[in-house]
A and B are shown apart, each in its own frame.
Chain A
């Protein structure tokens, strides 16, 4: 799996070979689709996701998928994906998913290969902006910079749906496998940000993630349009080490010019999430609450001297509530997201929280073309990264982000 992860083109070629053989075998059993999305980001202050302060078009997503049914109850599904989001993605093609799906019955099915990781309402469809009103999903819960290790899993899953008395239903999805972590991805960015404002020449020394498993449960009560969910996700065996150097001119002689290594070994990352979604006519209401913690701790080596971390594991909390309403081809959405709390956070000041009031508008020009625009009024800087020095000083509490996007689906 590791080799395949490192060679997405091999995956792509395999997928194309599968599609080709499917075309020859039975054209009716093959279904293809895709999307091309181009966006624009601009912010009043700071650089969020990309170089947004100057305004940027570095916000592109392209996906091409195919689903083939070679035998009864069996499908093979794949999607090639590439994206550009500031320093992330860089138009490098990757295999978003490629798996065999065998549905023994409605109650029991299996998937194996590169599968989508399901957590909450949007993790498995985080790249599919046409499936929602907004352009950007709530920060802190669905961060597009983390898609390298949050979107897919190389492994297997078991899923199904059970009817309960009184028109109620339970849906489940259990999965396990290997996580992917890109040294240029969001996890790396987050880790480098932690040291970026104190040291120079920062880089990722080690970044590996072993296993991951999780589950998502949905309960549909006998109320039209309502579902309630609980999901959990666990990563284990994460090794993240960052390396930097304190500036020579630092007043503290014990630190000046010394090398700093932040050593995170065999870390675990545990996420739990509650979700609710309710469709009522042309209205759609969603709310989710996520709590997570990273443990055990990250030790430090300064100038060759080992300093064990004695602080307790860091805990995070984030929630959002959203309401959207459709008027024919138009749809409006209002979302409030808050990351109000980080227990044992090493950040200070406005970097300890972020609150976002987001107004979105979507217009479906036709069946294949969707336009979107939105404005975010943001307090706090918790989700601003600085691994490339893009946000060296966090000197302003309040800032605004504008986004626009055009998506073509086929």
Chain B
């Protein structure tokens, strides 16, 4: 029986793996929730919320969607999770809101205003492109 020599993993491979994982982590889309809201949110649940199928959280609070305008990355994430383009998303919610079946997502140009909205409303949810500097809200990455 011969001993198979243990081949060391090249350093560059480890570095590559780290960068890959790190980049995956960086490309995750942060979901902002009110600090009181500890509901676990997965992609399927998020889609139900963004399409208006799920209108209340498990604790009974009404879902209030906040959308960040003029942020292509946040818009891209919204499109991915909702399965709709930006115009379709707006159109979809106009159909819901103007027939009394839900509240129109609130649009914000300033991320600080959006965060303040999430802090103030127990049922609020928002998708942003970067949550590193944000304080006072629950952040869940998907």
Interface residues of A (CB under 8 A from B): 28-29, 31, 33, 35, 63, 65, 67, 69, 72-73, 75, 77-79, 97, 99, 101, 103, 106, 115-116, 124-125, 127-128, 130-132, 161, 169, 171, 224-225, 279, 281-282, 284, 326, 331, 364, 367, 409
CA distance A225 to B47 in the complex (A): 13
Q: Judging by beta carbons under 8 Å apart, are B98 and A35 in contact?
A: yes
CA distance A131 to B100 in the complex (A): 14
Q: Judging by beta carbons under 8 Å apart, are B103 and A31 in contact?
A: yes
Asked whether B61 is an interface residue with its Cβ less than 8 Å from the other chain, the reply is: yes
> Chain B 108-142, CB within 8 Å of chain A: the 1/0 string?
00000000000011000000000000000000000
Q: How far is the CB of B26 from chain A (nearest CB, A)?
A: 26
Q: Judging by beta carbons under 8 Å apart, are B100 and A77 in contact?
A: yes
CA distance A78 to B121 in the complex (A): 22
Q: Judging by beta carbons under 8 Å apart, are B85 and A282 in contact?
A: yes
Using Cβ atoms and an 8 Å threshold, which residues of chain B touch A161? 53
Question: With A225-B83, A282-B85 in contact, do A106 and B99 touch (Cβ < 8 Å)?
Answer: no
CA distance A284 to B85 in the complex (A): 11
Using Cβ atoms and an 8 Å threshold, which residues of chain B touch A28? 120-121
CA distance A60 to B89 in the complex (A): 26
Q: How far is the CB of B30 from chain A (nearest CB, A)?
A: 23
Q: Judging by beta carbons under 8 Å apart, are B62 and A326 in contact?
A: no
Using Cβ atoms and an 8 Å threshold, which residues of chain A touch B83? 224-225
Q: Judging by beta carbons under 8 Å apart, are A128 and B94 in contact?
A: yes
Q: Judging by beta carbons under 8 Å apart, are A326 and B87 in contact?
A: yes
Partner of A72, one of B48, B56, B121: B56
Q: Judging by beta carbons under 8 Å apart, are A73 and B85 in contact?
A: no
Q: Judging by beta carbons under 8 Å apart, are A78 and B100 in contact?
A: yes
Q: Judging by beta carbons under 8 Å apart, are A33 and B87 in contact?
A: no
Using Cβ atoms and an 8 Å threshold, which residues of chain A touch B97? 31, 33, 65, 67
Q: How far is the CB of A327 from chain B (nearest CB, A)?
A: 10
CA distance A325 to B53 in the complex (A): 26
Partner of A279, one of B59, B88, B99: B88
Q: How far is the CB of B109 from chain A (nearest CB, A)?
A: 10
Q: Which 8 A-B pairs have the closest CB atoms?
A: A72-B60, A77-B100, A31-B103, A128-B98, A131-B95, A124-B99, A131-B94, A69-B62
Interface residues of B (CB under 8 A from A): 48, 53-56, 59-62, 83-85, 87-88, 91, 94-95, 97-104, 107, 120-121
Question: With A106-B48, A131-B98 in contact, do A281 and B62 touch (Cβ < 8 Å)?
Answer: no
Q: Judging by beta carbons under 8 Å apart, are B54 and A106 in contact?
A: yes
Using Cβ atoms and an 8 Å threshold, which residues of chain B touch A132? 91
Q: Kindly report which residue of chain A lies nearest to residue B122, judged by CB atoms.
A: A28
Q: Judging by beta carbons under 8 Å apart, are A99 and B98 in contact?
A: no
Q: Kindly report which residue of chain A lies nearest to residue B100, judged by CB atoms.
A: A77
CA distance A326 to B56 in the complex (A): 32
Using Cβ atoms and an 8 Å threshold, which residues of chain A touch B85? 279, 281-282, 326
Using Cβ atoms and an 8 Å threshold, which residues of chain B touch A409? 94
Q: How far is the CB of A12 from chain B (nearest CB, A)?
A: 15
Number of A-B contacts (CB under 8 A): 83
Q: Judging by beta carbons under 8 Å apart, are A65 and B88 in contact?
A: no
Q: Judging by beta carbons under 8 Å apart, are B104 and A31 in contact?
A: yes
What is the predominant secondary structure among interface residues of chain A facing chain B? strand
Using Cβ atoms and an 8 Å threshold, which residues of chain B touch A116? 99-101
Q: Judging by beta carbons under 8 Å apart, are A130 and B94 in contact?
A: yes
Using Cβ atoms and an 8 Å threshold, which residues of chain A touch B60? 72-73
Using Cβ atoms and an 8 Å threshold, which residues of chain A touch B59? 72
Question: With A28-B120, A28-B121, A73-B56 in contact, do A97 and B87 touch (Cβ < 8 Å)?
Answer: no
Question: With A72-B56, A106-B48 in contact, do A128 and B62 touch (Cβ < 8 Å)?
Answer: no
Partner of B56, one of A31, A79, A103, A130: A103
Q: Judging by beta carbons under 8 Å apart, are B62 and A279 in contact?
A: no
Q: How far is the CB of B27 from chain A (nearest CB, A)?
A: 21
Q: Kindly report which residue of chain B lies nearest to residue A326, judged by CB atoms.
A: B87
Using Cβ atoms and an 8 Å threshold, which residues of chain A touch B121? 28
CA distance A225 to B84 in the complex (A): 8
| A-B contact list, 21 entries, CB within 8 Å | A28-B120, A29-B62, A33-B97, A63-B98, A65-B97, A72-B56, A72-B59, A75-B62, A77-B101, A116-B99, A116-B101, A125-B98, A127-B98, A128-B98, A132-B91, A161-B53, A169-B53, A279-B88, A282-B87, A284-B88, A326-B87
CA distance A314 to B102 in the complex (A): 39
Q: How far is the CB of A98 from chain B (nearest CB, A)?
A: 8
Q: How far is the CB of B65 from chain A (nearest CB, A)?
A: 11
CA distance A12 to B54 in the complex (A): 29
CA distance A100 to B54 in the complex (A): 18
Using Cβ atoms and an 8 Å threshold, which residues of chain A touch B104? 31, 33
